[in-house]
Structure 1
């Protein structure tokens, strides 16, 4: 590729906080890091914010590249290592020496210096200069200031639009079996399996549920190859009457979710859906059922991501669990709902928490742990990045079941969108893993008020 087609990519600070190794993602193009970005990384690396670790990782990655380079080489650009499949260069721009053309409020000095640097590069080079930032307002300000090319960081996006995200089930029109020309059925250990041509339900993947509109049929894909697919026969009626901790599914979507939650062969269950669709309630009911009634797990660990938890958790009184309670109110509300008909709800909750060994943990302290024989509920994980999701999943040892729940319409992180959320990343990466199930819960069952609000507000 000629130099005319090569571009300069200027990275904003939030790109390196979102993906510390983003410098290797631009292939044959040249990457430029403004000095202002290094200053901001330096401030963040010693802070108590969640992103401090990512800042340190990014700084170490840059140090590995520049440690033997001279100042002239650093300003001109040094080749990126070919082992990272990147053939461009990386350089540091001393943007603090440039004459200001963009001026604004004092609290935006860093952003202004980055914009001034991009405008300077635009004037100095004939090649396209592209500012990469995840800050939407920064993109608007850049365009208003005269930056010709401004983009979001999309390398980590597995899908272009969240509407293409798999829902974990396939609903066939009409009667399912009328669409299957030939089927081979067999029964093993009291369970019925059907094998037929893959083209009938293609595209499909492991552990996808298959339902239809007319009959009682429901199944789950347990084996798939280039030509054939094998379904495990489940039956809608059986799923609708299956219970956990006195909770029964209110619709077929909850039935599929409960089937996955109670299946001992499934290690990871991903539940997505609107507020009030029953994600947390089903997960807690299944956790209590399998921990207390079936003795399958030694404990239940509940954790979730919270905005600015690193700064704010320390100012709350009490132990780690007591500090976590304000953010885990959704879980304690669910426990109360499960025992609202008991003679003494408060006494029941205390007994259940002790009996099931329910532990409320901060996600900050999950790194480095090895969790054995536990039912782990990760709530509100739409606010996690892909690397944070990986940190949690790699903690899970033998005999541990992980349930991740979230609603992509309720993302609080300023750097995440539905297509870059760790929840989306996890759904796509695990859809062909034999030990995981993903179910999108349609419908709001919390109340008619919540249902109307979800549909009309």
Structure 2
């Protein structure tokens, strides 16, 4: 390796095997910095790729991706470093190098760890590079907590978890759907124009107070009492629908009441037929399914706004087709949508016979389990549609469903916490398509997308 170059290089990242298994293309995520792959990592990938497990697929993808970059390089060039592919978004940006290091040549005494374990060899490689290139910042990147502790104990100054997957542009584009105002909101407003529309009070405040708002975004402050939703704006003013924290928490649907202000904002959006697209995001157990289902039953059975409830989900790749074995479409989709039937039982757990109540409600609300492969515009006419996409899967079915110009449709998409899943490969960036809907789906005021977070 060129020592003069690394003396001026900002960072050198040494990748552990589990990083490439977690995200096979992880070595492309370090921008202008150099990426070091020890020979021990290649050996571990080679051993894993032949196992009959899901992780073997990630190992093969990582090996093929490394080969794609290093295919035309000579052995000397591989050791010196090969330029990483340029970023399509910024082709002129500086590029780092991908370097293969033969860590078997380094003495074990460098780190003091016994050399018969692969983790120790990788740590030993990082410690060696730290001593060899003292002017560069050498960082060991690993998902193994114990390995990070051992590396620090061996004298390595910089050890990090792999978090690039949590900082991709798609997530930064996805707004939380609400904005917190410091202090008391009305203290900042002063005088404003208020009009009454039925039971709703609409306030027209200066745009400069909250300059970067969008339609249907919620506003909160530190007082614990103010809550409002943006229902319109122009260059000079913002129109706010006064909701109030107490009123949001007092809302109910099918016997379900929000437990916090975030669920209160969710229920307000779900129960408003003028908001035709609601995206719910959050970790498991935060109430996405129960709130969506309760709001759907309330609007279908109690209020009679819609005629039916359609529940759908994209199945895993191994079951992309629903199959050719005997059984109806609903029978085949039922295992993938068990969360809905379980939630129905929870809603009626106080009944004398919860299962009978569930079956009765499924028939009365006309709940249908549909496969995405066979859904068309006519399928969702005058219906509430609950979509349950897998964040790690391909979300290509979502945009068509969202773009269908079908009148009187309530679309609800529930997503797991994209900040915490760790076993899915992040080669795709599906969230970008969803975020673009914020602009592209604005065909009329009632179609303004609302993105919010159920926390």
Normalised by the size of structure 2, how large is the TM-score?
Answer: 0.67
**Aligned equivalent of 1:345:** 354
Instruction: Give me the whole-angstrom Cα distance separating, in 2, the residues matched to 1:213 and 1:87.
Output: 45
1:115 is displaced (CA, Å) by 1.7
Structure 1 residues 432, 333: closer, same or farther in 2, change over 3 A?
A: same
Structure 1 residues 110, 173: closer, same or farther in 2, change over 3 A?
A: same
1:258 is displaced (CA, Å) by 0.5
Instruction: Give me the whole-angstrom Cα distance separating, in 2, the residues matched to 1:40 and 1:288.
Output: 52
Residue number among 335, 344, 347 corresponding to 2:344 in the alignment = 335
Other structure's SS at 1:401 match: strand
Q: Relative to structure 2, which stretch is displaced further, 227-236 or 33-42?
A: 227-236
2:83 aligned with 1:73? no
2:135 aligned with 1:121? no
* Matched residues, number: 396
Other structure's SS at 2:400 match: coil
Q: Is the 8 A contact 1:9 1:29 kept in 2?
A: yes
**Aligned equivalent of 2:37:** 33
Other structure's SS at 2:162 match: coil
Structure 1 residues 28, 269: closer, same or farther in 2, change over 3 A?
A: closer
Structure 1 residues 431, 2: closer, same or farther in 2, change over 3 A?
A: farther
Q: Is the 8 A contact 1:44 1:52 kept in 2?
A: yes
**Aligned equivalent of 1:91:** 99
1:181 is displaced (CA, Å) by 3.2
Q: Is the 8 A contact 1:290 1:297 kept in 2?
A: no
**Aligned equivalent of 1:14:** 18
Superposed CA deviations along residues 385-442 of structure 1, whole A, max 9, x for unmatched, are xxx2x7347645325420235598xx685899xxx9x9xx99x97997752331445x
What are structure 2's unaligned runs of at least 5 residues? Answer: 169-174, 320-330, 403-410, 440-447
Other structure's SS at 1:398 match: helix
Structure 1 residues 335, 146: closer, same or farther in 2, change over 3 A?
A: same
**Aligned equivalent of 2:149:** 140
Structure 1 residues 149, 273: closer, same or farther in 2, change over 3 A?
A: closer
Instruction: Give me the whole-angstrom Cα distance separating, in 1, the residues matched to 2:158 and 2:305.
Output: 59
Rg larger in structure: 2
Superposed CA deviations along residues 141-177 of structure 1, whole A, max 9, x for unmatched, are 1112232332233444449xxxxx9683536755x44
Structure 1 residues 100, 394: closer, same or farther in 2, change over 3 A?
A: farther
Q: Cα RMSD over matched residues?
A: 4.9
Other structure's SS at 1:4 match: helix
Other structure's SS at 2:147 match: helix
**Aligned equivalent of 1:315:** none
1:347 is displaced (CA, Å) by 1.6
Q: Is the 8 A contact 1:74 1:92 kept in 2?
A: yes
Instruction: Give me the whole-angstrom Cα distance separating, in 2, the residues matched to 1:220 and 1:242.
Output: 15
**Aligned equivalent of 1:436:** 450
Residue number among 353, 357, 375 corresponding to 2:386 in the alignment = 375
Matches within 5 A, 1:275-424: 278-289=287-298, 294-295=305-306, 299-301=310-312, 332-353=341-362, 355-358=366-369, 373=380, 374-377=385-388, 388=392, 391-392=394-395, 395=398, 397-399=400-402, 400-404=411-415
**Aligned equivalent of 1:452:** none
Instruction: Give me the whole-angstrom Cα distance separating, in 1, the residues matched to 2:422 and 2:352.
Output: 41
Superposed CA deviations along residues 99-123 of structure 1, whole A, max 9, x for unmatched, are 44455597xx331221232233334
Superposed CA deviations along residues 11-33 of structure 1, whole A, max 9, x for unmatched, are 11233334433323333332111
Q: Is the 8 A contact 2:7 2:133 kept in 1?
A: no
**Aligned equivalent of 2:277:** 267
Normalised by the size of structure 1, how large is the TM-score?
Answer: 0.67
Other structure's SS at 1:397 match: helix
